[in-house]
Amino acid sequence: MSVPDLDPQISDVLRKAEESGAAPIESLTPEENRANYERIAKEQFGPVDEVFAVENRDADGVPVRIYRPIETSEPGRALVYFHGGGYVIGSIETHDGITRALAKRAETVVVSVDYRLAPEHPYPAALDDCWTATKWVIANAAGLGIDHARIGVGGDSVGGCLAAIVARRGRDAGTPFAVQLLLYPTTTSHADALSYSRYQLGYGLTRDAMAWYWKQYIGESDGRTNPDISPAALQDLRRLPRAIVITAEADVLRDEADSYAQRLSLASIETERYEYEGMIHGFLRMAGVVARSDKALDEISETLKTFLDKTRRDDQAVTLDHEDALSGKMPAPAEAEAEPG
């Protein structure tokens, strides 16, 4: 098995983490892990992008933070963003750097969702909050200055998992999104991909840490066959939003994300998939200490902007009334068809 040629600055990040003597995630309490994550997030991201306005709002009981890149009276692009952190750690604060960067560089309104965390709030709390907040954005698009035809969903790590699930719910509800931005996402609770063996130790996120995260969220249950836990369990991927799938070379989640991207392409979903060589899981949060991470945010933002503008503006693009979206009503599902291939 070959050893990846890591970016020198990524190697430095890993070296400093090892020298710090930090205890493994699975040996700490959720509170201890949250405190560590908040500290590291501030240290590694560095100076954040300036945007025109930042506003905290209540989205039907779910706290959200809205980032506006510029002052304008025209309806703009929007991305509903779900942070990573294994369903246990992370917040709109820890991901403030990423969401500001996407807003500023993609010239897009970003709505960052502060969903409830496990184990205090296990499955399906995080998903329920993300879906509620997304429906709120859809229902209030006009008042928020958002073009309802150019709304995307996105997130990193488990946030990418939540984004994939919300994207499917939108499809099933008759409200397709313009794009799903999946940043090194997890797509299944089952750790059987080869990348789990290759990068299980020494590259930041470990196999044992992922197992601990999943246990906090779903307990002892096996979520691999539940599409509301594991997007990879979904059989029919047709009619899902266009997808941008970002992976890191030395990441235990790389292969499952890559497999999901391939399946999207086979289902005739326009998909852009980028693997960042020499990078590890969570590298986008390291823009202050890893130059390649900052450059990657530029590249991802440009693709996001392009995909959000590739929108269908006919009457079929949004068939679910905004009031129905807010209330959670859905049309009867169409008869399932076998996925091609």
3-state SS of the chain: helix, strand, coil percent to 5? Answer: 40, 20, 40
Catalytic residue among 129, 281, 301, 324: 281
Tens-digit pLDDT string for the chain (341 aa): 577 899 999 999 999 999 999 899 999 999 999 999 999 999 999 999 999 999 999 999 999 999 999 999 999 999 999 999 999 999 999 999 999 999 999 999 999 999 999 999 999 999 999 999 999 999 999 999 999 999 999 999 999 999 999 999 999 999 889 999 999 999 999 999 999 999 999 999 999 999 999 999 999 999 999 999 999 999 999 999 999 999 999 999 999 999 999 999 999 999 999 999 999 999 999 999 999 999 999 999 999 999 999 974 443 334 344 444 444 443 333 333 333 33
Catalytic-labelled residue, pool 7, 49, 156, 251:
251
How far is 288 from 70, CA to CA, in rounded Å?
Answer: 24
The pTM score is 0.92
Q: Among 246, 146, 252, 129, which Cα is nearest to 190's?
A: 252
Verify whether residue 83 is a known catalytic residue: no
- Residue 125, judged by CB atoms within 10 A of its CB (0-12, 13-18, 19+), counts as middle
Full set of structural domains in the chain with CATH: 8-312+321-327 (3.40.50.1820)
Length of the chain: 341
Q: Answer yes or no: 195 catalytic.
A: no
Give the active site residue among 91, 112, 157, 301: 157
Contact 194, 255 (CB under 8 A): yes
